[in-house]
Amino acid sequence: MNKDNNEELFPLVDEEGNIIGAATRGECHDGSKKLHPVIHLHVFNSKGELYLQKRPEWKDIQPGKWDTSVGGHVDLGESVEIALKREAQEELGISDFKPEILAHYIFESERERELVFAHKTIYDGVINPSEELDGGRFWSIDEIKEHLGKGVFTPNFESELQRIKLF
């Protein structure tokens, strides 16, 4: 069974994104609320549908829930832009896309505190979800709205929808 690498090093940042230290994934997800940067990419097709990934059951946070098209941590020594391209390639097998920055904000849950850099793109090419995911598919906006608040999506995704007015 797959599992997250709790020894992976993440940068710790202040609320403006300046690096102030480093900590492991385990330390960032243990309830300590160490602020660390992450990227989100919302992948729309030209029909206006939004691709969502299904989180596998082995994930340490929100297993089995539907989530943002691409989401991942910025590694120590990596820029937001490089992390965005790396995660899109790793998770969906896409590399030829033009991201548009939507917002950056702080998301806090019981277990963690993240500085989120949210982006969107329109992409009509082939998507090949990796073994990091339990698949994925395009959802119509009406279908997403119908499932909000019913435990289908991660709280992070639902919170971001409200925060950035994605549709």
* Residue 4 domain-assigned (yes or no): no
In a domain, residue 113? The reply is yes
Q: Helix H segments across 23-79?
A: 25-28
pLDDT of residue 110: 87
The mean pLDDT value of the chain amounts to: 94
First to last CA, the chain: 36
Which value, in Å, is the radius of gyration of the alpha carbons in the chain?
Answer: 15
The whole model's pTM is what? 0.92
For residue 3, being part of any structural domain is answered with no
> Residue 116 domain-assigned?
yes
The CATH number of residue 110's host domain is: 3.90.79.10
Q: Give pLDDT, residue 27.
A: 93
User: What pLDDT band is residue 61 in, cutting at 50, 70 and 90?
Assistant: confident
- Give the other-Cβ count within 10 Å of 145's Cβ: 12
What is the domain count for the chain? 1
Question: CA-to-CA distance for 138 and 44, rounded, in angstroms?
Answer: 8
Query: Is 136 contained in some domain?
Result: yes
- pLDDT for 5 beyond 80: no
Range of the domain at 99: 9-164
Residue found under tokens 């019913």: 150
Average pLDDT of the residues in 145-160: 96
